Each structure stands twice: as structure tokens, then as C-alpha cells.
A and B are shown apart, each in its own frame.
Chain A
């Protein structure tokens, strides 16, 4: 069980609370977690990763265990603490005006 924390606007869009939980089979990677998240909450497709390139949207960052994982390859394994559910995987909106 993986814990994912979404930014407030995406919580509203997905109609969920601050944290959601998804199941990932096999290796726990950024891609696997986001795929599971989008499968469970289809309205989030395109809002975190681009529909076509599957790249992270520029104003979003991925944090976990006090580390910035935004620039890690999508298929690199996430920290054990995330894989075990001890720590959440954080999707963060950049602080950028507006």
C-alpha cells in the first residue's frame, strides 16, 4: 500500500482528502505509483503528467523522505519507506505566483 499526498486543487478534482492510498504490484517506482493513481482516479490523467509524453508537468514536483525526487528517472525504485507505506509520496505544486 502506497500513500500519496496530492496538492489541494487535485484533491478537489479527485474528490478525495489530503492523502490517498493505492496498491502497486511489483517494483514501486514513480511511474508505477502514478499509473496506479491515474487508474484509480482517471480525472487526474493529464494533470500530473503530460498525456502524450508522460513527462512531469513543469510546475509540479515529487518529494518523499525529505528528498526531491522530481528529476529521478520514472522507473527508478522509490525509497523503501515509500514502498512500505511508512512515508507518503508527495505531489507538490510549485510556489509560483497567482
Chain B
């Protein structure tokens, strides 16, 4: 069987290129005739090396997959690849080859894992011809992107943790803005050296910091010390004033307080900063009391997008235990006008016109703590997450319940499944697998710590419902820390890194999609937020 030239090429295509269908094998560039291909597929199946099944999207097509016996050929294929790369011109990058030859065991473990998980990416790295443009692009990107920078906001300052692509040795810089609460730090996707930070204090209020060199130096935009003679300042980066203008802000006077009485909106702090995907000088700020602001001049000045508070339900919003905060902003990469926000305890909202008009998207949510459990408003949404390649699908960690929507939030369904508790704060999605989701279950709203004193991240490979506990490297006894809503992030290296911070000051990292964890730092102040940048 293995001696046959065509059969081995089919196995190679399955393993190295991630091919699955008759058409793909036929067009793989080796010029196999259809009758021979059909014959070899039959023989490989008869020999128990591959198995054909109906393809999910098109029932008429067959989708081939290696069997256990088939995947056992991986070491043979790997040796052939290494041999070929050494002695033939194949286009395999030298570095990749050296890596593979050095880490045979790890490569093979990875191949087996991906095969087990029915991962759609090729089981072995792709080297030449035949791969799709998208894979080519990703391959190029991976090589360039070899650093990660983790931005950590804590109760007493900000920290920047950096490492190369291996993510095993870390540099820790900080504390930045020592003594202040750093609610959030985030980098611009359009210019990774541009960072924004929300610095707050019960004494001195809000300060907005900006860096243009990746966090080495910071400034308060528009608030720089002026040389004499000084002219009026250029901006006020920490000034967040609610819109009360006659046209757009007039009806926005009060929301409900904890006791249900009307209460005026009062700015307290910026919870979330979301830089634009395309312009480093544009960013959105989610604030407490709940509202969304935008800057288009690099944070010198901020203006409210008052359509959110003004869309009609604002007067019935009420604060959650952490205040009435707008804590999540998601930008749809496929539609520049679409944005999602979440507010505790009002719910989730969407705009399709760049923030002018908004609508609540809370249908399907059920919350026992409000008079009408299925009301349009009043749900304590803790976090929403989205995979950039599937912007219509959202995952939500609510006060209780993990939820999912496949229609931009129009309707939600519960996917808590077998989680030990579906209370929690953080939720995020794997960088390359849109159906792989992470949560950190917390015992209850009255007991903000992991159940049984075991810190466990739960991963679902099926977009929810079926969850597995990830415990390797995490404390499995006497652990009573919390993981807050902003304190989880993923990098976009080939082997996806997951990061989260705790109220006990640990920041844990996994360089293998959650399979194992190690602390980067153990003794920071309570962690409020974690973001990560994947850098060239």
C-alpha cells in the first residue's frame, strides 16, 4: 500500500495540506487521473487508512479523514519531509525544517492532537504549492510575528509583559502610573506602537494616557506641560461630558439607581478603550455611568455617541454591583458601521450605522433577578466575545449563563452545557478556531471564586455545550481568586496563546491553546484587565 506512489501522495495531501475532498486531491498538482484517484481512495479505505464521510456543507460530497492507522503514518511522512528538505529543492524554509527536525516529538504530538480534534488546518505545516491564498498569507504572517506584548491593568498600576514567540521567558515592566487604578490598556490594531490607557483614582478622577512607542513613554494628550508663554491647551483628554444638547442629548437625564429611583448620569471612569481597526487616532471609550464616547484626534477630545443612551430604554437602566458601566466594545471587522457594546446591568446593544442609532439585543436572555426575566433591558451581561472571521457569531458570559448568538445578537441561546457553574466574568475565542471558546467558571454571584477552590479554565471545541476543564499548571486546591471580565485575552500566533489575570495578582499564560499553563507573574496587585498584542 505505502509502496504505491499515488497512495502515499494522497496520505501526504491529507496530512500536510489538510485536503479532504476528491476535487482537492485531483487538483493537487501531481496530475492524477480521476479513475486512478477513485481506485486508490477505495483501496486506502479498504486498508483502513482513510475513511470517507458525508461532507457537512454539501451532502453529496465525500469528506475523507485519516483513521488511527492512517495517522500512525505521521512519523514516516515527517521523516520524508525532513529528508526531502535536506536533499531536494522543496521550498521548505530552513528555519522551519531545523525546528521540525529538532522537535520531532512535539511536531508529532501536535499532529495527533489536531487530528483528534478534527482541526481543519493541515496537520503538518504547509510548505509549497496547493495551499489556498489565505493559508499562504497566514503562513507568511506567522513567520514575521514573533513577539507578544501583554498589557495588564491592575488596581495599583499598569504592567507590560513581553516575550518572544515561544512565550516561555518574560520581561516584566512596571508599575506604570504606580498607585493608580489602570482599568484598561489596549493597543491599536492599525499601529501596534500606539497604546491607550485608562488611569483612574477615587481622589483625582480620570486620566487618559497615550503611548506612541509601544509603552516606553506616555503622555496625556492635549495636557502636555506648555512652554512659556503658554497658549490655551489643545485638548482635554480626560474630559468626558455627557451630551445634553437639544438635538441629540435632551431626553437623557436619569437612569434608575439601585433602589429603582431615578438618578442623574454622573461620569465616574473609563472601563474600556477600543482603538479603531484602521485609524490609530480613533478610539472608543466605554464609561461608567454607561455611555460610549469616541475620539478621532488621538484622545485629545472625546464626544459621546448619544444615540446609545438616547435610543429609548436609558431611563430604565440600572447599575450592577460593579457600577453602571459600559465594559465591552466589539468592532465588526467586516462592517465598519457595526459595533456591539455591553452594559451592566442593562444588556447588550448593537449599532449598524457607526454609532448613530442603537438597539438592544437581549432576546433569548433569561435573568431571574429582574421582575420580568425575559425583559428587553436589565440583564447583567458580563462580557461578549467574537471571532473576527465570524462577526455574526457572538459568545456571552452573563451574570449567570453562557450564551451564544449566530445572528448578530438578534437571538441568544444558552450553551452552558456541562459547566460546573455558568456564573463567571471572562470569555474569549481562540484566534484561529472560531468554535473554540474559553470561560472561567466562578462559583456564584455571592461567592466570587472558583468552585471547590480549583482554578479551571473551561474550553469548548464545539462552540459551547460541551466543555472540558483545563487544569494543567493551574492551582487545584485552596484557590479563591476571581478572574474579572476584562482579564482574559488571546494572541494570534500559530499555536494560539491564552492569557488571564486574577484578583490575586497572577497572570497565567498558555502557549498551547490552554492545554497547559504557567504563571508569568504571581504577585501583582489585583488584575483588572489583560490585553495582548502579537507583534512582528
Residues of A with Cβ closer than 8 Å to B?
7-10, 12-15, 39-48, 50-52, 57, 59-60, 93-94, 96, 98
Whether the pair A60, B203 counts as a contact (CB closer than 8 A) is yes
**B222 located at the interface, meaning its Cβ lies under 8 Å from any Cβ of chain A in the complex:** yes
Given A9-B180, A40-B226, CB of A45 within 8 Å of CB of B238:
yes
Given A45-B236, A51-B239, CB of A7 within 8 Å of CB of B203:
yes
How far, in whole Å, are A41 and B222 apart by their CA atoms in the complex? 11
Whether the pair A40, B202 counts as a contact (CB closer than 8 A) is no
Whether the pair A40, B230 counts as a contact (CB closer than 8 A) is yes
B156 to chain A, nearest CB (A): 9
Q: Which 6 A-B pairs rank lowest in CB-CB distance, beginning with the nearest?
A: A43-B223, A42-B233, A47-B204, A43-B220, A59-B203, A42-B223
Given A40-B230, A57-B203, A96-B202, CB of A46 within 8 Å of CB of B225:
no
Interface readout for B195-224 with A: 1 if CB under 8 Å, 0 if not? 000000111111100000000000010111
Whether the pair B224, A9 counts as a contact (CB closer than 8 A) is no
Smallest Cβ-Cβ distance to B177: which chain A residue: A12
Whether the pair B179, A43 counts as a contact (CB closer than 8 A) is no
Choose from B207, B224, B226, B236 the contact partner of A51 (Cβ within 8 Å). Answer: B236
Whether the pair A13, B203 counts as a contact (CB closer than 8 A) is no
Can you name 6 A-B residue pairings with CB atoms under 8 Å?
A: A39-B230, A42-B223, A46-B239, A57-B203, A57-B204, A96-B202
Smallest Cβ-Cβ distance to A38: which chain B residue: B233
Say which size band chain B's interface belongs to. 20 to 34
Whether the pair B205, A47 counts as a contact (CB closer than 8 A) is yes
B84-110, CB < 8 A from A: none
How far, in whole Å, are A93 and B177 apart by their CA atoms in the complex? 17
How far, in whole Å, are A27 and B281 apart by their CA atoms in the complex? 41
Q: Give every chain B residue within 8 A of A43 (Cβ-Cβ).
A: 207, 220, 223-225
Smallest Cβ-Cβ distance to B202: which chain A residue: A59
How far, in whole Å, are A46 and B222 apart by their CA atoms in the complex? 13
Q: Give every chain B residue within 8 A of A51 (Cβ-Cβ).
A: 236, 238-239, 241
The total of interchain contacts (Cβ-Cβ below 8 angstroms) comes to 68
Q: Give every chain A residue within 8 A of B178 (Cβ-Cβ).
A: 12
Whether the pair A48, B225 counts as a contact (CB closer than 8 A) is no
Whether the pair A42, B225 counts as a contact (CB closer than 8 A) is yes
Q: Give every chain A residue within 8 A of B230 (Cβ-Cβ).
A: 39-40
How far, in whole Å, are A45 and B236 apart by their CA atoms in the complex? 8
Whether the pair A9, B179 counts as a contact (CB closer than 8 A) is yes
Q: Give every chain A residue within 8 A of B179 (Cβ-Cβ).
A: 8-9
Choose from B202, B207, B226 the contact partner of A13 (Cβ within 8 Å). Answer: B207
Whether the pair A98, B207 counts as a contact (CB closer than 8 A) is no
A57 to chain B, nearest CB (A): 6
Given A43-B220, A46-B238, A51-B241, CB of A93 within 8 Å of CB of B225:
no
How far, in whole Å, are A94 and B201 apart by their CA atoms in the complex? 12
Q: Give every chain A residue within 8 A of B241 (Cβ-Cβ).
A: 51-52
How far, in whole Å, are A8 and B180 apart by their CA atoms in the complex? 12
How far, in whole Å, are A40 and B343 apart by their CA atoms in the complex? 38
Whether the pair B239, A48 counts as a contact (CB closer than 8 A) is no
How far, in whole Å, are A45 and B204 apart by their CA atoms in the complex? 10
How far, in whole Å, are A43 and B177 apart by their CA atoms in the complex? 14
B396-429, CB < 8 A from A: none
**Given A8-B179, A43-B220, A57-B203, list of 17 further CB < 8 A pairs?**
A9-B179, A9-B180, A40-B225, A40-B226, A42-B236, A43-B223, A43-B224, A44-B223, A45-B233, A45-B239, A46-B205, A46-B239, A47-B204, A57-B204, A57-B205, A93-B203, A94-B203
Whether the pair A9, B225 counts as a contact (CB closer than 8 A) is no
B288 to chain A, nearest CB (A): 16
A54 to chain B, nearest CB (A): 12
Smallest Cβ-Cβ distance to B241: which chain A residue: A52
Q: Give every chain B residue within 8 A of A12 (Cβ-Cβ).
A: 177-178
Choose from A9, A14, A42, A45 the contact partner of B201 (Cβ within 8 Å). Answer: A9
Smallest Cβ-Cβ distance to B206: which chain A residue: A46
Smallest Cβ-Cβ distance to A10: which chain B residue: B204
B31 to chain A, nearest CB (A): 69
Smallest Cβ-Cβ distance to A50: which chain B residue: B205
A94 to chain B, nearest CB (A): 7
How far, in whole Å, are A12 and B222 apart by their CA atoms in the complex? 17
